[in-house]
Structure 1
Amino acid sequence: MQPSAGPALPHARSGAMHWITTAAAVGALVGAVALVQPADASPKAGGRPATPSGPPVAAPDPHAVTYPLTCAPGATVDVISHVSADLDGDGRPETIAVVRCHSDTGTPPSGVYVLSAPAHAGGLPKIAVTLVNPKDDRQISDFRLAGRSVKATVLGFSSDDTPRCCPDLRRTYTWEWRDGRYVALPGPANTI
């Protein structure tokens, strides 16, 4: 075997210190890369993190909620209509429910509520947002889901003298999830 020509180069020798230094440098680089995210990496719209993958989450049951309605003694709460969809993009469906006190005569005011899934398995759904407060004395018709938006016609009264059987004002509403909250987009108000 012939000796190598020229002096021994420092980078050509492989000693224990060389490998320890290389491993430390590679480890630091991998750690730094794991902490840095690309500029376009951001949480889902609304600032909520994505839900881990797993079995699908059931939509909240609108009949399992206690609604903040002041009903006559002994009267129950009627769920008039409901739809479910992932409106806020967090990977879990919400349920939007139209409810009112049960009445054999007349039409009590309705409330529209967004229900979220329970915080833990076996828990009850909860009211996340009130879209229409029954205290505002409104009735709801043409309630539906359009993509990730909720739409309804909201009926009201022009004065306290207007009989509660016969709303005389109508306005369409669309509710959308924007910037971390539900935004009401009212249409023009019309008389009936």
Structure 2
Amino acid sequence: MQPSAGPALPHTRARSVHWITTAAVIAAVIGSAALVQPAGASTGAPAPGAEAGAKAGTPADVPPPDPKAVHFPLECAGAPVDVVDKASGDLDGDGRPETVAVVRCHSETGTPPSGLFVLSTDPAAGTAPRIVETLVDPKEQRSFKGLRIDGRTVRATVLGYSTDDVPRCCPDQQRDYGWEWRSGTYYEIPGPLANSV
């Protein structure tokens, strides 16, 4: 359908002065909006450790317990205690990370038995980390490799001995284990039994 001939409507003929004025007003509005911010708003990059969706008290801003600040229940006959391995994560979902540590008495030879401990720090400022769970007691004569945290599960390969005649330097058995936080405690989850290392 052809438009009817006739005079154009008055508001459809814009002059250049009209467009210049409109552009100036829009620029002024945008410029003033950029300068005005709500109270408490910050400019620039987010603070270190701040991520999208992070909340106060999450593992991103709470340091994990340091195993070197813990007294472990090992009888080392005067030898120092070695932290052989460690891993950190929020195992119980309370917003604070725990540290899982593999610890043994220091020795220049052989493979002393290791313990596997879960450490936590109380929310009160200045409190030292403490042992909240012993997953494997050093008296069980075990050692570990591949310690890691998968969600709320601690995972490691446990090394042991088939008999008392096997030299303590050379464990001849291994089995993967998990320890999962459920209902206020850690449940041991053994993997398939391996024949030997």
Q: TM-score of the superposition, structure 2-length normalised?
A: 0.67
Tell me the CA shift for residue 54 of structure 1.
5.0
Residue of structure 1 equivalent to 2:76: 71
Residue of structure 1 equivalent to 2:191: 187
2:108 maps to 1:99: no
Provide the secondary structure at the position in 2 that maps to 1:113. strand
**CA 165–54 in structure 1, closer or farther in 2 if over 3 Å, else same:** closer
Provide the secondary structure at the position in 1 that maps to 2:101. strand
Q: Segments of 4+ in structure 1 off by > 6 A?
A: none
Provide the secondary structure at the position in 2 that maps to 1:191. coil
- Opposite residue 71 of structure 2, the aligned amino acid is T
**CA 72–54 in structure 1, closer or farther in 2 if over 3 Å, else same:** closer
In 1, the alpha carbon distance for the partners of 2:153 and 2:69 equals 23
**Which string of whole-angstrom CA distances, capped at 9 and with x for unpartnered residues, describes residues 79-104 of structure 1?**
11111111100111101011110001
Instruction: Within 5 Å, give how 1:141-180 maps onto structure 2.
Output: 141-180=145-184
**Which string of whole-angstrom CA distances, capped at 9 and with x for unpartnered residues, describes residues 58-116 of structure 1?**
2111110000001122x101111111111100111101011110001111001110001
**CA 54–186 in structure 1, closer or farther in 2 if over 3 Å, else same:** closer
Aligned partners of 2:118 and 2:135 also within 8 Å: yes
Q: Please identify the structure whose Cα radius of gyration is greater.
A: 2
Aligned partners of 2:83 and 2:102 also within 8 Å: yes
Residue of structure 1 equivalent to 2:143: 139
Tell me the CA shift for residue 57 of structure 1.
2.1
Provide the secondary structure at the position in 2 that maps to 1:130. strand
Structure 2 gap ranges (5+): 1-54
Q: TM-score of the superposition, structure 1-length normalised?
A: 0.69
Instruction: Within 5 Å, give how 1:8-87 maps onto structure 2.
Output: 53-54=56-57, 56-73=61-78, 75-87=79-91
Residue of structure 1 equivalent to 2:127: 123
- Opposite residue 164 of structure 1, the aligned amino acid is R
Provide the secondary structure at the position in 1 that maps to 2:139. helix
Give identity over the alignment, percent: 59
Q: Per chain length, whose mean CA-contact separation is higher, i.e. which structure has more relative contact order (CA < 8 Å, sep 6+)?
A: 1
- Opposite residue 160 of structure 2, the aligned amino acid is G
In 1, the alpha carbon distance for the partners of 2:184 and 2:95 equals 14
- Opposite residue 71 of structure 1, the aligned amino acid is C
